[in-house]
């Protein structure tokens, strides 16, 4: 297995780990805390790094048009990264403003973003295994 592929798999898996820990610990604590926001940012950084590495691998290998062009995986992946970015920025803003009411309700949006993020993650696993 190529070293770049191993790196991409590890970083995307780290994104899953950090994002899952952040989302579910925030949900369990029933309020948004600083370390939750840090885990959201780490998840975003690892996901973006892994995604960009996978794109480079795909373009170097000249995979089929279906895999390298606009696909369900590509569209859902882009939506997920955009949502993760918005989520991390909004979490940072809510924490910075100190709005307790928004801190208490934030976990609902976190769970939605996490579920949306899982779609391209699972599609990528299926593509990688086939």
Whether residue 125 is predicted with pLDDT greater than 90 in this model: the reply is no
Write the Ramachandran bin of 98: left for phi over 0, alpha for psi from -120 to 50, otherwise beta: left
pTM of the model: 0.86
Q: How far apart are CA 31 and CA 105, in angstroms?
A: 7
Contact 106, 26 (CB under 8 A): yes
Burial grade of 102 (CB within 10 A; 0-12, 13-18, 19 or more): middle
Q: b/e map of 56-88 (b: 16 or more CB within 10 Å)?
A: eeeeeeeeeeeeeeeeebbebbeebbebbbebb
End-to-end CA distance of the chain: 15
Predicted confidence at residue 117, as pLDDT, reads 93
The answer to which of 7-16, 31-40, 58-67, 98-107 has the lowest mean pLDDT is 58-67
Q: What pLDDT band is residue 65 in, cutting at 50, 70 and 90?
A: very low
Q: How much is the average pLDDT of 105-126? A: 90
Q: How far apart are CA 107 and CA 10, in angstroms?
A: 26
**What confidence tens digit (pLDDT) does each residue in 86-97 have?**
999 999 999 999
Predicted confidence at residue 67, as pLDDT, reads 47
Q: How much is the average pLDDT of 105-128? A: 89
């Amino acid at each position: 297995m190529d070293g770049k592929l191993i790196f991409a798999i590890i970083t995307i898996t780290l994104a899953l780990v950090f994002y899952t820990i952040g989302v579910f610990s925030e949900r369990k604590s029933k309020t948004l805390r600083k370390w939750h926001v840090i885990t959201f940012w780490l998840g975003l950084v690892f996901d973006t790094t892994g995604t960009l590495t996978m794109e480079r691998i795909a373009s170097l290998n000249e995979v089929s048009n279906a895999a390298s062009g606009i696909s369900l995986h590509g569209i859902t992946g882009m939506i997920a990264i955009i949502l993760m970015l918005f989520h991390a920025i909004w979490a940072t803003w809510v924490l910075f403003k100190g709005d307790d009411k928004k801190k208490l309700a934030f976990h609902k949006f976190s769970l939605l973003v996490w579920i949306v993020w899982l779609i391209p993650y699972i599609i990528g696993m299926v593509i990688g295994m086939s």
